[in-house]
Amino acid sequence: MDHTDPELAQSSAGVSAYRLLSPGLSAVGLRTHQARYDNLGEPAFPRPAEEFIVASRFAPWEREAQLSGADYFGDVMATALSVIDHESVPDADRVELPPPLSVSIALDEAIVRRRSVRRYTGDPVSLAEIGTLLRFAAGVTGEADAELMRGGGATFRFRAVPSGGGLYPVEVHLAALDVPELDVGTYRYSPVEDVLVRTGDRAVVDRLRDSFAIPGEIISIDSAAAVVLLIARPWRSMRKYGPRGMRFVLHECGGIAQNVHLTATGFGLGTTDCSSYVDDHANEALGLDGVLSFLAHTIFVGWPG
């Protein structure tokens, strides 16, 4: 018996149908993504995404890549990596975090229950819950000592999410919208110190909120309690790995985001990924140049509405 859905068959045929290159992309000013897809065989228009894939390929005969990586196995870089993200935080900007909370459900249950939640009640989320999210996203979870070739040793710190070469090019920031223990503002999570560092006030949050290019009926931005901000500094990775290092930046963003989602699910919180923001406006609001440091991703957090 033929179980083919006629409407599904018609839709599939429509999506995959052959389309003529008319008009060509060079003949139109408005080039939608669909138009570019329909003209993939046309060599005239730029394809930056595919160019990135090609540029970040690794080949075993690339001597430059081998030499760049070898520098990281000596004592100098080993010592530098052992103190990566170690900092002295001024008391005026330092916010201590409460002890982490226990997540009451098993990992397999959290994975099954995880869903993107875009509507929120507007109720506040506690600093203890936010702090636990941040620790499971980027916190230090272990240490190990290593001997240096010149003598002595260094202590390396491992975090909740893997990072290419242990370079950690992704910083986790927070826009606190309704966290009772925090003033409305932006904060950076310092993983080694395990504290929040205040980076901006309510005006920064307002400018950041205005940078989101998504209707309120899609994500209820005004009723979310917080936004987790993933800020990338790609040359921390690319200095060693070249263009391929940008892939590792994206890998790390995905790992951090998933840990946030699963932890939030364990608390009964709702989260959703959101990349619908105007980059120039968001980066400007956060004081980033948009290239050497840029907002790579955001995650809304709130109680499900």
Is position 94 within any domain? yes
68 and 39, same structural domain? no
Q: Mapping DSSP to helix (H, G, I), strand (E, B) and coil, where does residue 22 land?
A: coil
d(CA 259, CA 265): 10
Least-confidence region, from 10-14, 107-111, 244-248: 10-14
The model's pLDDT over 77-91, given as tens digits with 9 standing for 90+, comes to 889 989 999 999 999
- The parent domain of residue 36 ranges over 22-55
47 and 149, same structural domain? no
126 and 37, same structural domain? no
Residue closest to 233 by CA, chosen among 249, 256, 257: 249
Residue closest to 271 by CA, chosen among 279, 280, 263: 263
156 and 27, same structural domain? no
Percent of the chain whose predicted confidence (pLDDT) is above 90: 72
d(CA 25, CA 41): 11
The model's pLDDT over 229-262, given as tens digits with 9 standing for 90+, comes to 999 999 999 999 999 999 999 999 999 999 999 9
Is position 174 within any domain? yes
Enter the DSSP assignment of 116. Answer: B
Q: Mapping DSSP to helix (H, G, I), strand (E, B) and coil, where does residue 1 land?
A: coil
Residues 221 and 209: beta-carbon distance below 8 Å: yes
103 and 68, same structural domain? yes
- At residue 31, the pLDDT reads 77
- At residue 24, the pLDDT reads 61
Residues 286 and 200: beta-carbon distance below 8 Å: yes
Give 193: exposed, middle or buried? Use CB within 10 Å, 0-12, 13-18, 19+: middle
φ, ψ dihedrals at 297, nearest 5°: -170, 155
Enter the DSSP assignment of 274. Answer: E
Per-residue pLDDT averaged across 204-224, rounded? 94
173 and 51, same structural domain? no
235 and 128, same structural domain? yes
Residues 180 and 128: beta-carbon distance below 8 Å: no
Residue-wise burial string across 246-258, b where 16 or more C-beta atoms lie within 10 A, e elsewhere: bbbbebbbebbbe
Average predicted confidence (pLDDT) for the chain: 91
- At residue 40, the pLDDT reads 81
The model's pLDDT over 270-288, given as tens digits with 9 standing for 90+, comes to 999 999 999 999 999 999 9
Is position 49 within any domain? yes
pLDDT-derived band at 69 (thresholds 50, 70, 90) equals confident
Is position 12 within any domain? no
Q: Mapping DSSP to helix (H, G, I), strand (E, B) and coil, where does residue 242 land?
A: coil
Percent of the chain whose predicted confidence (pLDDT) is above 70: 93
pLDDT-derived band at 45 (thresholds 50, 70, 90) equals confident
What is the number of structural domains in the chain?
2
127 and 44, same structural domain? no
32 and 105, same structural domain? no
* 209 against 65, higher pLDDT: 209
Is position 177 within any domain? yes
Is position 296 within any domain? yes
pLDDT-derived band at 23 (thresholds 50, 70, 90) equals low
Which residues is 170 bridged to in the sheet? 232
Is position 1 within any domain? no
- At residue 14, the pLDDT reads 65
CATH assignment at residue 209: 3.40.109.10
121 and 192, same structural domain? yes
Is position 223 within any domain? yes
d(CA 187, CA 172): 9
**Is pLDDT at 61 greater than 90 in this prediction?**
no
- At residue 165, the pLDDT reads 94
The model's pLDDT over 132-179, given as tens digits with 9 standing for 90+, comes to 999 999 999 999 998 998 889 999 999 999 999 999 999 999 999 999
145 and 33, same structural domain? no
* 20 against 106, higher pLDDT: 106
Residue-wise burial string across 82-106, b where 16 or more C-beta atoms lie within 10 A, e elsewhere: beeeeeeeeeeeebebeebbebeee
222 and 106, same structural domain? yes
Q: The whole model's pTM is what? A: 0.89
